[in-house]
Amino acid sequence: MTQRVLLTGGAGYIGSHTHVALVNAGYEVLVLDNFSNSARDVPSRLETVTGQAVHVIEGDVLDRALLDRVFADHDIDAVIHFAASKSVGESMRKPLAYMQNNIVGLVTLMQAMDAADVRRLVFSSSATVYGSAADLPIRETEPLSYGNPYGHSKLVCEQIIEQTVASDPRWAVGVLRYFNPVGAHPSGLIGEDPAGLPDNLMPYVAKVAAGQLPVLSVFGDDYPTPDGTGVRDYIHVFDLAQGHVQSLAALERDGTGHVVNLGTGRGYSVLDLIATYARASNRDIPYKIAPRRDGDAASSYADPSLAKTVLGFEAQYDLFDMCRTSWVWMQNSAQKAEG
């Protein structure tokens, strides 16, 4: 069994939940994070959740000298890589920054891993690599494309991994294509905390429910879907975290890599999510219909059957669980801000 895992971006939203899942599974975890998009109190929150000390190195995956020191000073068996920029909207405004952080960051990390003789990697990819998929549910064999710099960066990273593995069979890489991570740890101590206006739907809904934002804009109600609003595959972040632990175990067990979707296989509309969040929070969530956004697909949801076959992965949380845990996190965050 892999003993010590380097978790890049381990103080972020998905990284912090994966930290908990790894500790629960018996791994030792070393976090590397530059705290550019995560709160500095996350490690102390993780200590409360896990009951164990959290080992953190502040730094950047673009810093090769730092990475070399980390691998030299710690007996690392595998890496889970979350340290990437992830906002579609921001990537449209800052494409060069996204290429630098996401693509150059991965290359720098893999070069340091190779030099340290560490070649087991779980890579955080995205369903954005499918572009506007023609067939539903989306399978891993769907043609790949992109509609924005963020998606482009993830697709290039996947290609770099594929070519590296082809050149050297000592590498074993799990590529996990996420759909829409939402929710929070059931403790309410860690969750999604975007700076400024949220880029994703559920954090925005949560802020409207909490009275921090006045109204939610629903972009388009004339799609060919049951209620006219966009349909997406939402997956609870802790299910997603468990998928990373299962991916790591599969790399250890099989010695070969995999490329799989992580989703529930079920699509929910924007109005489904609003209604469910209103029920979970017992709050009204005012919304208004706005024009469609360019590039938004009508429907996108996964076929997760390959992940079940290869990893034993199966989502456990339903949409109400996702909304309920998000609301607990929002209430805890509000109390912390007031205190």
Query: Which residues participate in catalysis according to the annotation?
Result: 150
Instruction: Quote the CA–CA distance of 71 and 63 in Å, as a whole number.
Output: 13
Closest of 88, 105, 109, 79 to residue 247, by C-alpha: 79
For residue 53, with 0-12 CB atoms within 10 Å meaning exposed, 13-18 middle and 19 or more buried, which class applies?
A: exposed
Start-to-end Cα distance in the chain: 43
Q: How far is CA 153 from CA 4, 54, 60, 329, in A?
A: 28, 30, 18, 31
Instruction: Quote the CA–CA distance of 160 and 228 in Å, as a whole number.
Output: 38
**Dihedral angle of Cα 123, 127, 133, 136, to the nearest 10 degrees:** 110
Instruction: Quote the CA–CA distance of 279 and 272 in Å, as a whole number.
Output: 11
Omega prior to 137 cis, within 30 of 0: yes
Kindly give, in sequence order, each residue whose CB lies less than 8 Å from that of residue 338, ignoring residues fewer than 6 positions away. none
Count the helix, strand and coil residues of the chain and give each as a percent rounded to the nearest 5: 45, 20, 40
DSSP 32-75: EE--SSS-TTHHHHHHHHHSS--EEEE--TT-HHHHHHHHHHS-
Instruction: Quote the CA–CA distance of 142 and 52 in Å, as a whole number.
Output: 42
